[in-house]
Amino acid sequence: MSTYTTGDVAKLCGVSVRTIQYYDRQGLLNPSSMSTGGKRLYDDADVRALEYILMLKDTGLSLAAIRTVMESPYSTRMLQDLLGEQRQKLESGIAEAQRRITAIDALDDDLALHGTLTVADRTDMANHMASKTLSHRFFALMIIVSILADIAWIGTLVWSIHTGIWWIFSIGLAAAVIMMAAMTASYYRHVVYWDPATRREFRPAFWSWFFARHTLHTRLLRAPGSNEKVWCVEHFQGRVPVRK
């Protein structure tokens, strides 16, 4: 059986000598023997034990928890419980980090669109973040409905050309029109616009909104504050009420 000094073990496992000495003081990794000169000596089993400790430490378990596992006669069951608990903590941390990233993105979008923060308090911020999440889901739904509408009228058109039965195409075209009309009406109900003169949100009349020139985030509308046609920033509201 091979024997190793503290320095040898440190090189084998990629840690510092101080780490091994610290684990020794904590009762995690005791040397299997001592040399005549008083040096700590470790064997292959000790090296494997250190690798095991380092592997568990990489999961975020504390040294106290690792020592408990190594000393327990039910180490496998205890380790499963500890790893499950650690996973829950890490997932909770990921969720919190994602919430903060969403908050950063929401404020960044607000600054990019208005040149200043329009949210006044934490309630506004929560509503802003909720609207951002809902807008992503809504636009994904719009894409799906658009694809289904295309399939409806194109598919029935091809089928009617091949069979000569044109009433099927009429049904497909009507279904496509109904789907797109429903999505357009839903989109109109979910968006409001920022009046640059009064710095208030408003919802224009449907037909003026429908025929207005627009970009991805703005629409050329007659703003109630100035009664002039200006480019107004679009806000997706979801279930958030329009401010009066």
* Separate counts of helices (H) and strands (E) for the chain: 8, 7
Higher-scoring residue by pLDDT: 179, 139: 179
Average pLDDT over residues 230-239: 75
Contact 224, 178 (CB under 8 A): no
Q: How many CB atoms lie within 10 A of CB 157?
A: 15
Looking at residue 120, what is its pLDDT?
Answer: 62
Residues 85 and 63: their CA atoms lie apart, in Å, by 15
Mean pLDDT of 112-141: 72
pLDDT band at 244 (very low <50, low <70, confident <90, very high): very low
Asked if 191 and 221 count as a contact pair (C-beta separation under 8 A), the reply is no
Q: 115 or 59, which is more confident?
A: 59
pLDDT at 196 over 80: no
**pLDDT tens digits, one per residue of 48-76:** 999 999 999 999 988 888 888 888 888 88
19-28 pLDDT, tens per residue? 999 999 988 8
Residue 179: Cβ-neighbour burial (10 angstroms; 0-12, 13-18, 19+):
middle
SS3 9: helix
d(CA 220, CA 129): 25
pLDDT of residue 240: 42
Question: Is a pLDDT exceeding 80 seen at residue 133?
Answer: no
Higher confidence at residue 15 or residue 201? 15
**CA-CA distance, 42 to 4, in Å (whole number)?**
5
The better pLDDT of the pair 174, 119 is held by: 174
Residues 6+ apart with CB under 8 A from 100: none
Q: pLDDT at residue 209 above 90?
A: yes
Residue among 13, 23, 75, 74 at smallest CA distance from 47? 13
pLDDT for position 243: 42
Output DSSP code: residue 214. B
